[in-house]
Amino acid sequence: MTCCHPESSPSPSPEGARAAAEIPAHPLDPLRADEITTARRVLEEAGKVSPTTRFPLVLLDEPDRHAAAAHRPGDPVARRLRITLHDMATGASAEAVVDVTAGLLLSWRELDVATEGQPQVMFEEYEVVEAIVKADPGWLKAMADRGIDDTSLAVCAPLAAGSTVIERPGRRLLRCLTWLRCDATDNAWAHPVGGLVADVDVVERRVVRIVDTGPVPVPAECGRYEAEFNGPARADLRPLEISQPEGPSFRLEGPLLTWQNWSFRVDFNAREGLVLHRIAYRDGERERPVLHRASLAEMAVAYGEAEESRNWVAFLDAGEYSLGRNANALRLGCDCLGEIRYLDAVVSDDLGNPETLPNAICIHEEDHGLLWKHTDIFNNMAAESRRSRRLVISYIATVGNYDYGFYWYFYQDGTISFEAKSTGIVQTSAVEPGAGSPYGTEVAPGLLAPYHQHLFCVRLDVAVDGLANTVEELDVVPVPPGPDNPAGNAFTARTTVLADSAEGGRTADTTVGRRWRITNPGSLNRMGQPVAYTLVPQPGPVVLAQPGSPVARRMAYGTKHLWVTRHRADRRYPAGEHPNQHPGGAGLPEWTAGGESLENTELTVWHTFGPTHLPRLEEWPVMPVEATGFSLKPTGFFDRNPTLDLPREAKGGHCAV
């Protein structure tokens, strides 16, 4: 079978495009191509664009939650874009805000890149830096010292430099590790060149330092994972068809999606990728908000090797590499299965021109097993059960060697969950064959897959039944023996209100089943208790780099599983606005210094999670999916099970007697 489906065209027909354009504009609609074009024109007319100007990031300047909530169909909409600019010739960078509705430049600010950090790494720089390294005499000599005279099949991977500073702060750097290929189609990750790093000044376009800790044999064994290298294919799989003859149960009106009792707006941007706005659940006649905004705001990949040529390797894939710009074009039967609806995404390229990412977002339904069941032993074993169905909104991004799938799940009982699936190829380094390492797994002779962490961080602008919320930490604890617990069996729930911003950074604790309850003190359920949603974590270790280390400073959000902050429009990203080459400490550590009340007010909840990855032999040469995530569960939000109205037998023959 092929991965393309004739009923799922990659782009809308002209009629479909015209219909979409007729939908009334909303202030939270995704970025449009004409808006990006207008923003570039406004900046050109203001004299802010030269032939060497680049556009690392172009984003919608989202309206505040009150303005978004007040909008009604047909209301006029003023749209503004936040734009980061960088001059490839001078290294100067700036931030601009452009009103693309009025065609006005509203603000312009030069960035102090030495203290504020650099703009994101741009696609153009990958090729530029590789060419610089391959022409450098120092790198060529280091390769020759390793017996590698033909460098035509070398791959120089430009990587974010972290907080590295050479000679002067503010220098725009990329650091290059090297891999080899046997031929143009070979898996380069199988052949790392050990002990060699080239530091490149991207503005001066030269290698400013070579770090060479000495030759290590280049692993020789190939790591091909394609079907033609691993046959014959299994022949005992029978077809598995998923069909919805009447079409899917969800409805899309432009970016507004409704399914069962859920409704929300689907958005996508170059930095965070998929963003969901104004998530609400219809409860009878009421449309009840749950989240104003939800996104994966940052993700770090921090490696644990101690050797000089590798001890700096740690990346922030959203803040340094623009995670959303790396989205895949999804294919039916390969990336998504079932009755699929795809959405394109529009971002800016490096030159400030609109670029369409086809089939970037996948939307579909899937069966999720049993929702609830009971067999009544007092009534002739009469049984009632219902199947669970969930709505899936997803996208996949490839950043270097890793591929990541990001999935938001919506359930009929009011639960929301998020899952990140890591696959692709583990990053590799070289060791003496058979020597191994305390910092990784030797997955092939001389090929080390270093230990590392994936630290995902979601931003949840909470709005549980309204904007005024409070977060409580909930632990399950035993009751001490005594008059209140004579048999010693009792345990109870202990609740701690997170009242001040200084208390906003929290660590999970599986020994007490720790979770966090987001309540609305102004909205009570029928038992007189505040309605709530509970964040149920799947915790792993927090950042393992030593406190005060460059990695720990730059990825400080990863030192806690949960952060709670007062909501502010400029608090967008957990590691700060410009984490590329930032010295660290920006973002969440600044916003949780103390002195701000967190009770009964507008809040953002930031949740950090992810695996500490100790690679296995079974993950080479390509890694089976590793999944991680969390759930948001209604807790007294409803007065009883909200799925009692599901039919006994859904169309399609479920629960046949």
**499 and 479, same structural domain?**
yes
Interval 329-355 mean pLDDT: 94
Q: What is the pLDDT of residue 3?
A: 34
| Residues shown for the chain | 657
Is residue 580 in a domain? yes
Is residue 305 in a domain? yes
Strand partners, 384: 374
Whether residue 10 has a cis bond before it, omega within 30° of 0 = no
Determine the Cα–Cα distance for residues 160 and 313; give it in Å rounded to an integer. Answer: 8
Alpha carbon 408 to chain centroid, angstroms: 11
Is residue 642 in a domain? no
Residues spanned by the domain of 37: 14-111
**127 and 29, same structural domain?**
no
Determine the Cα–Cα distance for residues 125 and 243; give it in Å rounded to an integer. Answer: 44
Is residue 652 in a domain? no
Q: Is the dihedral of CA 145, 149, 153, 159 positive or negative?
A: positive
Is residue 654 in a domain? no
What is the pLDDT confidence band of residue 321, given thresholds at 50, 70 and 90?
A: very high
Q: What is the pLDDT of residue 168?
A: 87
Does 29 have pLDDT greater than 50? yes
Q: What is the pLDDT of residue 651?
A: 56
**166 and 223, same structural domain?**
yes
Interval 152-173 mean pLDDT: 94
Interval 329-357 mean pLDDT: 94
Residue 83 identity (one-letter amino acid)? I
Q: What is the pLDDT of residue 277?
A: 98
**523 and 394, same structural domain?**
yes
Does 4 have pLDDT greater than 90? no
**144 and 101, same structural domain?**
no
Does 176 have pLDDT greater than 80? yes
Is residue 47 in a domain? yes
Enclosing H/E stretch for 70 = helix 65-70
- Calculate what percentage of the chain has a pLDDT beyond 70: 95
Single residue among 174, 198, 229 that ends a domain in this structure: 229
* DSSP sequence for 168-187: STT--EEEEEEEE-SSTTS-
**104 and 21, same structural domain?**
yes
**84 and 181, same structural domain?**
no
Q: What is the pLDDT of residue 167?
A: 85
Pairing of strands 623-634, 491-497: unpaired
Single residue among 77, 111, 145 that ends a domain in this structure: 111
Total-model pTM: 0.95
To the query of whether residue 407 is one of the catalytic residues in this protein, the response is: no
Q: What is the pLDDT of residue 12?
A: 37
Determine the Cα–Cα distance for residues 146 and 142; give it in Å rounded to an integer. Answer: 7
Does 17 have pLDDT greater than 80? no
Interval 424-452 mean pLDDT: 97
pLDDT in tens, 626-646: 999 999 999 999 999 999 999
* DSSP sequence for 411-438: ETTS-EEEEEEEEE----EE--TTT--T
Residue 394 identity (one-letter amino acid)? S
**573 and 441, same structural domain?**
yes
Single residue among 177, 207, 229 that ends a domain in this structure: 229
What is the pLDDT confidence band of residue 23, given thresholds at 50, 70 and 90?
A: very low
CATH number of domain containing 42: 3.10.450.40
Residue 116: count of CB within 10 angstroms of its CB = 19
Options 321, 402, 451, 573, the catalytic residue: 402
Closest Cα partner for 177 from 145, 142, 202? 142
DSSP state, 464?
A: T
Mean model confidence pLDDT for the chain: 94
Is residue 384 in a domain? no
**142 and 103, same structural domain?**
no
**161 and 49, same structural domain?**
no
Q: What is the pLDDT of residue 655?
A: 54
**129 and 107, same structural domain?**
no
To the query of whether residue 317 is one of the catalytic residues in this protein, the response is: yes
Determine the Cα–Cα distance for residues 210 and 140; give it in Å rounded to an integer. Answer: 11
**202 and 83, same structural domain?**
no
Does 20 have pLDDT greater than 60? no
More confident residue, 517 or 336: 517
Q: What is the pLDDT of residue 165?
A: 87
Does 654 have pLDDT greater than 60? no
pLDDT in tens, 131-150: 999 999 999 999 999 999 99
Is residue 326 in a domain? yes
Strand partners, 150: none
CATH number of domain containing 502: 2.70.98.20
**Vertex 592: Cα angle to 589 and 593 (nearest 5):** 90
pLDDT in tens, 115-128: 999 999 999 999 99
Options 99, 267, 317, 335, the catalytic residue: 317
* DSSP sequence for 536-560: EE-------SPTTSHHHHHTGGGG-
Enclosing H/E stretch for 383 = strand 382-399
Domains held by the chain: number: 3
